[in-house]
Structure 1
Amino acid sequence: MVAAAEPAITHPLAPISHRSAVLPALAAFCAVLLASCGGSDNATPASTGTQSPATSTPAPSTATATPGLGSPQFESARALQHDHALSVDIGIRAAGTDGEKRAANYIRDELAKYGYDASLQPFPIQTFVDVKTALDLLSPQQRPVDAAALGGSTSGTIESSLVSAGRGFPQEFPAGTSGSVVLIERGDNTFSEKAANATAAGAAGVIIYNNDSGSFNGQLTGDSRIPAAAVSREDGQALLDLVDAGATTVRLTVDTRTETRDSHNVVAKPPGKQCRLVVGGHYDSVPAGPGANDNASGTATAIEMARAMAADGTLDPVCFVLFGSEELGLLGSDAYVRSLSPDEKAALKAMLNFDMLAVGDAWPLAGSQSVVSIAAQEADRLSIPHSIDYGRFATGGSDHASFINNGIPAMLFNCFCDSNYHSAGDRFEFVREDRLAQAGALGMATAQALLAQ
């Protein structure tokens, strides 16, 4: 998937009360700070140790707070702390790993503190294990090249000539592809499409190099018939230069296996109430990095929304569900939806999915029209610049799709605009607290508007 250019957000928002947002205070807050809170994502990330104005200028509320839970308002500083706990204290949370389980326990314990009936929902997954992947340049030079298997790659060893095929479209494969290892640049089409096109052209193996600096973690959507590996942009360009200069030979070794493990959803329900709304997102990360944006940011937003909604002493009929194994293909959300009874499905008005939202300057609202239209109205009311694309990621891409595909309206709060996506560079230092504040404000307002229907 390729992110399109989006309009910039020009200011962060003050926290929104669980029961009411005070628009005059919000407008005054933004007016005072407009000169200092420009939203250019090209700037060097601000220090996350600095308190956001959103945490120091809470919107007033008349609700009675529950002792020990704090104010019934979304507080971005709290959300930032959750992001730190997930992406720094725990770190990589790949599906089926100890890191994912530690994160699940952390989330469950936090939600239980707020008065919800919180539990882990286990489900089996097939995990991909990269036992050993090696790429050796044999000629015209001899040296090893760092490589990692693409998820879903078959095992095998190939020693052959290296040829290049652009971005892996069928017409880009040269005449000498048969029996060769093919070098392809990331971008424009999926990893599986690149691998399938290479296989159709007779290639014996495929190497995909990044289209941005550094290495990356890639996942095929189906099993590959030939070994498939990923390398950094820098190594890929160096290999491409050798291919362009003359005959180049490599040896690609990929040794992989699959294992059955347990992953977990974290399900938090208001005691004695049926869920009318599900709020959540996935908490797992890819193996390549700590996933501070993808998706500790969405998880942190949902956790803080849960606290704010409980802090006034009245638990709304909202379930908070954080999903495991999204990065393997929406497995957690699919398992959760399949676990619902017909009556439970019928009771749900909507699902709000928060995924990859703490980087960028855009709010492209996507999903079911009945939900997106309400979120757009709330965004207008809160002066949050946004765009609408009902079809964007409507049936895939993130966990809201599992609900839509089962007849439950859902939407996605997201900005697919992070250059560190699925890489080791997706770190806490790039998480923007003002983005968490905006996500919480819009999420709280949308949830309350849906419940009021």
Structure 2
Amino acid sequence: MGALSALAHYFSRREVELLVEELSSYHRIQGSPYLEEAGRYIRDRLADWGVEVEVYDLPYSSEAPPTSAPIAGWFVEDGYAEVVKPKRGVVSSLREAWTAVVAHSPPGEFEGRVCYAPTYSHVQSCADRVVLTPDWGLGTYIRAVESGARAVLVFRRNAPRGAYPYFGLFPLIPELKYMRIPALTVPRDVAEEVVGYLEKGEEVVVRGFVRSGYRDVAYARVVEARFGRGDGEFHLVAHYCHPGATVNDNVSGSVALLAAAKALSVAIGGGKLKVYLPLRFVWVPEHHGTARYLRKVLEEGRTVRGAINLDMVGERQCRTGSALNLVRPPIVLLSRLEASLYAKTLEALPKAGTFSSPAEVPLARFSVVNYESGSDHDVYVAMGIPAVMLNQWPDKYYHTSADTID
């Protein structure tokens, strides 16, 4: 029996769905207590299954060059905004979606006329008003603050209708001085309705609030499951941060890793598999946790030979329009890991026979992509370690409240 067949024997779809439901219930924003709770949940599940586990609580306030500067801790309790003129209606509510409050928004109450700023350059004309903009970024927010705006409402032009986009500020500690006005997200269709009123010359007034705050002490909790002994580790990595109730990014990778860890533990315990190399399954807060963890690992004198990053791996391609991509490391870090993962991924994909030959072809879209940045494999690459990513892309529901298990 091959390793994949042995592991597949111990997978339970029902248990995977339960893990997805439970892990996605945490609002897993970096620097928040809810992310730390989610890390504890992962640790507890591994311990329940008899897996050797180590937890690293690494302060967000620490430096982790070359990829992670210190960021502020944060929490959120509630957020809401409504139009009060020309007619009443909800424009944003944390009770509808965890993504309704921009991550790391400061607290505050506001009321004022809406000023539509289609680009960053228009924001400066929105003094003493509430900015509505699709041109998001920390720079846009700071310009709104410096221009005297009362709040910022942000939407995404290509988001699914009715979905709240996910945006964040993630200020470095020195940037906290700019965190002065509330920031919330708005579904695209709601934003378009507001813009329609403004284009007809009507005055639109909104009011709302954010109840949130910053934390003096916050930890990037990294959970490491250990299989095998010896030097020259291979890491399987998944980030478990991002908003509550969102699934593909990246509860999918985190739960895939959890299910694999349990299956491997059971297979080893039952004598079906042996691990001859040191494998480490690692759950991280994206980039910030990975950089701090990997630096600590290397400072301890451990050697890492390669890493596989699982980020957004659980999609129905017919719904999301995606393909499963194997993202290669830079050519200078070419290794056998890349070829091995390619072969094993092809082996695992569902297949069907061709029209008139015994050959089989994959039933899922699968591509090999030259190195692209944007996830935790970047940290390994930056430290000279071969790292490959499995990722489904594109995804029409990416970074929105519509990223659900459905």
TM-score by length of 1: 0.65
SS in 2 for 1:269: strand
1:353 equivalenced with 2:302 (yes/no): no
Please show how residues 10-49 of structure 1 align to structure 2 within 5 Å: 17-18=2-3
8 Å Cα contact 1:365/1:387 also seen in 2 = yes
Q: CA deviation at 1:320?
A: 2.7
Between the aligned partners of 2:372 and 2:366, the Cα distance in structure 1 is 14
Cα distance in 2 for partners of 1:392, 1:292 equals: 22
Which letter maps to 1:218?
Answer: F
Alpha-carbon distance in 2 for matches of 1:343, 1:176: 53
Residues 19-418 of structure 1: pairs in structure 2 closer than 5 A = 58=5, 71=6, 73-74=7-8, 78=11, 80-95=13-28, 96-97=33-34, 98-110=37-49, 112-113=50-51, 117-125=52-60, 127-147=73-93, 148-166=100-118, 168-170=119-121, 173=122, 176-185=125-134, 190-196=136-142, 198-199=144-145, 203-210=149-156, 211-213=159-161, 214-222=163-171, 224-245=179-200, 246-259=202-215, 260-262=217-219, 264-287=221-244, 289=245, 291-306=246-261, 307-308=263-264, 311=268, 312-326=272-286, 330-342=287-299, 344-345=301-302, 347-359=303-315, 360=317, 361-369=322-330, 370-371=334-335, 373-374=338-339, 378=343, 382=347, 386-393=366-373, 397-418=374-395
SS at match of 1:351: strand
C-alpha deviations, 1:62-121, integer Å up to 9, x for none? xxxxxxxxx2x445x7164453232224542334324442233113433x35xxx32322
Which residue type is aligned with residue 231 of structure 1? V
1:120-152 CA-partner distances (Å, limit 9, x unpaired): 223345542224433232322345533433112
Q: How many residues align?
A: 343
Asked if 1 retains the 8 angstrom alpha-carbon contact of 2:229 and 2:278, the reply is: no
* Deviation digits for residues 334-385 of structure 1 (CA, Å, limit 9, x no counterpart): 232122134745x211111111111134122225232585267537964665
Alpha-carbon spacing, 1:376–1:325, altered in 2? closer, same or farther (3 Å) = closer
Corresponding letter in the other structure for 2:186: V
Indicate if the aligned counterparts of 2:24 and 2:251 stay in contact, CA closer than 8 A.
no
Gaps spanning 5+ residues in structure 1: where? Answer: 1-15, 22-57, 59-70, 431-453
Q: 1:373 to 1:264 in 2, by over 3 A?
A: closer
Aligned 8 A contact 2:233 2:280 in 1: no
RMSD of the TM alignment (CA)? 3.3
CA-to-aligned-CA distance 1:13-46 (integer Å, 9 cap, x gap): xxx932xx8xxxxxxxxxxxxxxxxxxxxxxxxx
Structure 1 residue 413, shift from structure 2 partner: 0.7
**CA distance in structure 2 between the aligned counterparts of 1:93 and 1:322, rounded to whole angstroms:** 19
| Distance in 1, Cα, partners of 2:400 & 2:194 | 21
* Overall identity of the aligned pairs, in %: 18
CA distance in 2, matches of 1:119, 1:379: 28
Counterpart-to-counterpart distance in 2, 1:157 and 1:193: 22
Alpha-carbon distance in structure 1 between the residues aligned to 2:370 and 2:147? 37
Mapped to 1, the partners of 2:231 and 2:91 lie a distance apart of 55
SS of the residue 2:312 aligns to: coil
User: Residues of 2 paired with 1:137 and 1:238: CA distance?
Assistant: 11
Higher strand share: 2
Deviation readout 1:405-449 (Å, 9 max, x if unpaired) = 222221211113333334444333x3xxxxxxxxxxxxxxxxxxx
Alignment partner of 2:111: what SS?
strand
Find the residue that maps to 2:380 and give its secondary structure.
Answer: helix
Aligned residue for 1:414, secondary structure, equals strand
